[in-house]
Amino acid sequence: MYSNLFSFMFIISILIGCDDTGTNPDIEPVINSDFEITDWTEATHGKGGDRNYEKVFPQDQVNRLDFVIDQDNWQVMLDDMEQQYGSFGSGSRGPADDSNDNPVYVPCSIFFNDIEWYAAGIRFKGNSSLQTSWGNGIWKLPLRLNLDRFEDDIPQITNQRFYGFKELSLSSNYDDESLMREKVVPEVFRDFGVAAPQTAFYRIYIDYGDGPIYFGLYTMIEIVDDTVIEEQFEDDSGNVYKPEGSGASFAENTFSTSYFEKKTNEDTDWSDVEALYNVLHSSERTSDAASWRTSLESVFNVDGFLKWLAVNIAVQNWDTYGRMTHNYYLYNNPENNLLTWIPWDNNEALQTGKQGGALSVSCSEVGTSWPLIRYILNDSQYLSTYKTYLGQVVESAFEPSKMTSKYQFYQDLISEYVIGSNGENSKYTFLESDGDFGSAVNYLISHVSSRYNTVMSYVK
């Protein structure tokens, strides 16, 4: 499979100088720029080919991806991680400084169905999932791919795509013994009319000089600002934001553009987000509710937000808005000029949760520090709509018999790659025993029934 991996004539080293690199300027990926390309076709590698969702995100099979990383570049990745998080297996801790820099990208070859993709960018990714796994000595680390990351230095891979996709995320299914949460929850959102990424199961192998090593079963996730917007909205030219930090709460006196990272249209202003903030905190909210609703609905897709909230509460997800100031996107849809809510990162869903736990169905405990929930649900019309959607969720997209069948189907699909002789191995898994997998699936089945009862008791 690797016969045409690299026919290198020379090696050059460069520092990739942008905010996706690591924190240490002395850590530089090795860029091998002279090699022969033999597998390239427009359908598999080209920007002009159709985006092949059936190939990249199959729902009834588990794909295998092999990453081949030069030994020196693997060491670059490890050195960068050690610089940021300490020695591998030395215990979980935060970054060595307050930097928000991502781990360093290095080039790799990707092999899929005996076809090679060349010098694609690969890096580790994540927050607690990355830090904790690294600190605990677990090699099953989340990954991020950028197919044409190194095109400036390797012109022959300009606009390289993986069946139409430029960027892809690989979740390690951290802290999820069912290995299904990241796969299933976006499906529930989409089934209820909320834009959310496509997902698929993948077996991941990495060869960094000693042959392919099974790193475990991952979940491939579509990137919001790469293809989700293009596929799920008629017009993809609007502003995409990835909020993070205190300002992402929209609480009073927290607004700053620094909390709303622009993923597109970097040269435009933040007036759309600021308009939402201003309307939320307008005195109209308490003096003239009807006018406030009109103003809010002129800048924000309130109905879409209520659908998101209904699903998020039904499935239970604490690691997002309402508890945490991250894990969502905002898209200013040019069709209606409304900021639209898009969920992200669902590995902590389908459980009571941490950090105070998932919100109750009534959200009565939510205070004014989370005004998008509190102020909207304080309005009787919006509260009525929320209750209607909440009941609809558990009778459709998150209905117990439907979800039980889904869980059992995925259990059968992935079981052989999770447990048993072909399953995950020590230091490359979050399972302590094979029995943990079945127990976790059984928990999901009981959880959806419990949520149905809880929701229906509230909405009736």
pLDDT tens for each residue of 361-402: 999 999 999 999 999 999 999 999 999 999 999 999 999 999
pLDDT of residue 91: 85
Contact predicate 222/57, CB 8 Å = yes
pLDDT tens for each residue of 61-105: 999 999 999 999 999 999 999 999 999 999 866 554 444 579 999
Summarize the confidence of residues 125-149 as an average pLDDT: 97
Question: Total structural domains in the chain?
Answer: 2
pLDDT of residue 8: 34
Residues 146 and 253 both lie in one domain: no
Summarize the confidence of residues 53-65 as an average pLDDT: 99
Domain end among 187, 208, 232: 232
Q: How confident is the model at residue 4 (pLDDT cuts 50, 70, 90)?
A: very low
**SS3 of 218, please?**
strand
Buried b (16+ CB within 10 A) or exposed e, 109-121: bbbbeebbbbbbb
Q: What is the rounded distance in angstroms from the CA atom of residue 186 to the CA atom of residue 317?
A: 12
pTM for the predicted model, two decimal places? 0.93
| Domain span at 202 | 12-172+196-232
pLDDT of residue 19: 40
Domain end among 232, 247, 276: 232
Residues 443 and 335 both lie in one domain: yes
Chain mean pLDDT for the chain: 94
pLDDT tens for each residue of 314-360: 999 999 999 999 999 999 999 999 999 999 999 999 999 988 899 99
Is there a domain that residue 4 lies in?
no
